[in-house]
Amino acid sequence: MIEKCLVCDGKSFNNTLETLSRCNNCGFVTYDMTSTKDSFKEIYNDDYFSGGEYHNYIADRDAIQANFKLRLKVLNKYINNNHHKLFEIGSAYGYFLDSAKHRFDLVSGIDITHEGCMFAQEQLGINVVEGDYLDYACEYKPDVFCMWDTIEHLPEPDLFIAKISQDISTDGLLCITTGDIDSIVARIRGSKWRLIHPPTHIHYFSKKTITKLLNKYGFEIIHFEHCGFYRSLDLILYQLLVIQNKSPKLYKYLEQKGITKAKIYSNLYDIMFVIARKL
């Protein structure tokens, strides 16, 4: 049972979208689950990136890194001469840090996935720590923190924002992408919205609630947009045919025909890209 809202501390909820609960005070939507660090790590084991959420994360590198280049292009508009050090929470296989290392003097990150951390370290030469950010003592004060499609996965995202607020440098930036539960697509699709799939996605923010959470810990939003994404056709078809519709034979047929190799760009205006400055 949810005791209080992590955004506004409200204690009244109503059931919405089947397994989800909405705060009656601020509208924040969340999934009621009891999660330990061990169970959280079990969800995001190596299989998550190879046959679980993704068919083959390594093979998707081109499309994933194309998205990170788009995010960096926007971020470049807001960084100044004092922003030299970047830290990513949920760095996975290090693809974003690999792109960002050419713009910043120092880049590093943290993730709980062993295989991803090893890939980042050994294949990309990126400084990535395997572990939980809440237990991690930063060796320096990062000027920019990034959480790309990460905050919705965290059992206690409020604690992450609180810790970032303490760890970040003066005038530092926090970048976040996450789904928008109040978007037109999400409202039309209801419980069938593609981003509703607990227990991997636990929390569902809107512009109002992500703003309220960031303000709570001393951040002011300076950039907001609904961003588009490059996605490999392989990922789209794998999630649609294998994960959702349990049709692996059809997916395998399309894969053999080479249809899954392309990447496409789309914007359904249901993903938020937020940049916030520490006050």
CATH code, domain with 150: 3.40.50.150
Rounded to an integer, the average pLDDT of 149-162 is 96
Number of compact structural domains in the chain: 1
Task: For residue 6, tell me if it sits in a domain.
Answer: no
pLDDT of residue 200: 86
Please write the tens of the pLDDT for every residue from 87-98.
Answer: 999 999 999 999
Rounded to an integer, the average pLDDT of 111-120 is 94
Task: For residue 126, tell me if it sits in a domain.
Answer: yes
Is the pTM above the cut of 0.95? no
pLDDT of residue 17: 80
Rounded to an integer, the average pLDDT of 146-174 is 97
Task: For residue 241, tell me if it sits in a domain.
Answer: no
Residue type (1 letter), 6: L
Task: For residue 203, tell me if it sits in a domain.
Answer: yes
Task: For residue 47, tell me if it sits in a domain.
Answer: yes
Domain with 90 in it: 13-227+270-278
Residue 32 in this model has a pLDDT that exceeds 90: no
Residue 37 in this model has a pLDDT that exceeds 70: no
